[in-house]
Amino acid sequence: MRVLVIGKGGREHSIVWRLHQSQSVWKIFCAPGNPGINQIAEPVPIAPGDFPALIDFVRANKVDLTIVGPDDPLGAGIVDEFEHAGLKIFGPRRAAAQLETSKSFAKTIMREAGVATADFEVFDDAKKARAYADSKGGRIVVKADGLALGKGVTVCRAIETAHRAIAEAMESKKFGAAGNRVVIEELLTGEELSFFALSDGERAIALGAAQDHKPIFDHDKGPNTGGMGAYTPVPQFGPAIEERIMREVVNPTLAAMKARGIPYRGVLFAGLMIDGDRINVIEFNARFGDPESEPLMMRFEGDLAQTLLAAAEGNLAGTTVRLSPRSSVVVVMSSGGYPGEYRKGLAIHGIEKIEGSAPSDVKVRWAMNRIRVKVFHAGTALKDGTLVTDGGRVLAVTAMAPDLKTAVAAAYEAAEMIEFEGRHFRRDIARRALSRMRATSGSV
C-alpha cells in the first residue's frame, strides 16, 4: 500500500522506518518529513495543519492510509476531515482526541469509567484555586486546560510554589488562553510508566510499555521536556501489570467513550503513576509517545501498516502485536539551552560513523553481539548540504540488544560518536532499572 505519515520528529522517523520494513508497504510519503525521514520516504512540503492540501495530495497520489504523528492535527480534526472525504486515516476524531486536548474532559471520562486518577478540581477563579491548593498543603499539580505543548504543567510541593504557579497560569497567562481554566490535582507519588494500546473503537490490544525520562538533567533535575530518553520493556512492570492496565484503565476508558457516542480509534497512550498496587492515570494522549516510539518501533515485529490499517478500519479482531523480547533504549541528544532558548543551524558530525556503509570495528562488534543501532532524526535540517540542528530535541539515538545493559551501553557509545556545539544528553537513562536489576540478581 501507499502510506502518508504526518509529522517531522523522532517519533515519525521511527514510524516511517518501521513502515519501510512492512511487507505491505511499497511507497511512503511524509509531510513534511525531515532529513532522516527523507532518506526512506518522499517528503511532501505541506504543513500538518493544511487539511485541504493534504486531502488533495492523498487523492492525487492514491494514498491508502494516512498515519498522524503529532497531537495538533488530531485536536484540530484532521481525522474528521479525512473520513468526511472518504479517506482512511489512523487516529482518533477530534471529539475523541479530547482525551488529550482537554484535561477536564479526560478527568470526567475517568470518573465515569471508574479509572483511578488523582483527586482534582477544575477552576476558572484564581482565588478558589488558591484555597484548594492550601487545603492540600501545596502538594498539587497545576495544569492549564488545553494544549500547551506539554509545558502547561507545574508540579508543586509547597504552598508558595503552588500560589506562584496559579498566578502564572491564571493571572499572568503564561500559557495563553489555555490558562483561563486550570485543572488542579493532588500530587501523586510512585514511578511513571507510558503504556500504549491500539483501539479500533470496539476493542483494544496492548502495544507495550516504556519508561520516559522527562526532566532535562540527570537524576530528574531541572525543567520537564518532551522526553530525554526511554526504554522498553520495563523490567519492574511485567505482563501482570500490563494486564491490569488493560483491565482497569484502557478497557473501561474505551467503554466510557463508546457509551458517550464517541468511540476512540487510534493509539491510546496512558501516562501512569504506579505505586505498589496502585495504578493511577496522570494523563491520556491520543498519539504515540516521543521518544517512547523510537524503542517501541525498534521492538515491533510484524507489519505495522497492516496493524494500523486494521485499527483505522475498525477491524482489529484477530490482530495480534508481537514485540521483540530484546531490550531497546533511546538517548535523546538536545540543543544546549533546551527546553529554554537554544541556537539552531549548528553542524552535526559523526552520524556517518554509525550509519555509513564503511566498515568499522564498532559496527563489527555491535553485529557480533546482536546489537542494532539507529539514529532517528528529531530536529535536524539540511543547510547547503550540511546536516544541522533545527530543534530542541535533535537526535534520538536508539539501540536494541539482547539485554538492557548492553542496549544502554551501545546507545551511549553511539551518542558519544555524534557531535554538535552545545550537545546535551542525560547520562542516566534506564539507570534506575539497571541498578534495581543488579540489586535483585546480586551481581555487580
State the residues that interact with ligand AMP by CB under 6 A: 118, 141, 143, 150, 153, 155, 185, 187-188, 192, 214, 224, 271, 282-283
Q: Which is nearer to ligand GLY, 7 or 35 (CB)?
A: 7
Residue number of the CB atom closest to ligand GLY: 227
Residue type, 228: M
Q: Are 141 and 155 in contact (CB under 8 A)?
A: yes
146-175 footprint of ligand GLY as x/- string (CB under 6 A): ----x-------------------------
User: Is 229 a residue that touches ligand GLY (CB under 6 A)?
Assistant: no
Q: What is the DSSP string of 215-241?
A: EEEGGGEEEE-S-SEEEES-TTS-HHH
283 binds, among ligand AMP, ligand GLY, none (CB under 5 to 8 A by kind): ligand AMP
Q: Could you say which of 12, 72, 81, 212 contacts ligand GLY (CB under 6 A)?
A: 212
Name the CA radius of gyration of the chain, rounded. Answer: 21
Residue 133 CA, distance from chain mean position: 30
Q: What is the DSSP string of 22-65?
A: -TT--EEEEEE--TTGGGTSEE----TT-HHHHHHHHHHTT-SE
153 binds, among ligand GLY, ligand AMP, none (CB under 5 to 8 A by kind): ligand AMP
Q: Which is nearer to ligand AMP, 189 or 440 (CB)?
A: 189
Q: How far apart are the first and last CA of the chain?
A: 49
User: Is 227 a residue that touches ligand GLY (CB under 6 A)?
Assistant: yes
Angle between helices 103-113 and 251-259 (to 10 degrees): 100
Q: Which of 405, 387, 408 has the alpha carbon at shortest distance from 397?
A: 408
Q: Which is nearer to ligand AMP, 184 or 197 (CB)?
A: 184
215 binds, among ligand AMP, ligand GLY, none (CB under 5 to 8 A by kind): none
Looking up cell 511532501, which residue turns up? Answer: 44
Q: Are 370 and 298 in contact (CB under 8 A)?
A: no
258-297 footprint of ligand GLY as x/- string (CB under 6 A): ---------------------------x---xx-x-----
292 binds, among ligand GLY, ligand AMP, none (CB under 5 to 8 A by kind): ligand GLY
Q: Which is nearer to ligand GLY, 107 or 213 (CB)?
A: 213
Please name every residue paired with 191 in a beta bridge, in sequence order, or none if there are none: 274
Gap between the Cα atoms of 433 and 436, Å rounded? 5
Gap between the Cα atoms of 376 and 10, Å rounded? 5
> For residue 444, what is its C-alpha cell?
555487580
155 binds, among ligand AMP, ligand GLY, none (CB under 5 to 8 A by kind): ligand AMP
290 binds, among ligand AMP, ligand GLY, none (CB under 5 to 8 A by kind): ligand GLY
What is the sign of the dihedral through the CA atoms of 292, 294, 300 and 303?
A: positive
Smallest gap from Cβ 285 to ligand AMP, in A, equals 8
Neighbour count for residue 149 (Cβ, 10 Å): 12
Q: Which is nearer to ligand GLY, 101 or 285 (CB)?
A: 285
Gap between the Cα atoms of 190 and 220, Å rounded? 14
233-262 footprint of ligand GLY as x/- string (CB under 6 A): ------------------------------
Smallest gap from Cβ 139 to ligand GLY, in A, equals 23
Name the residues that contact ligand GLY, by CB under 6 A: 150, 212, 226-227, 285, 289-290, 292
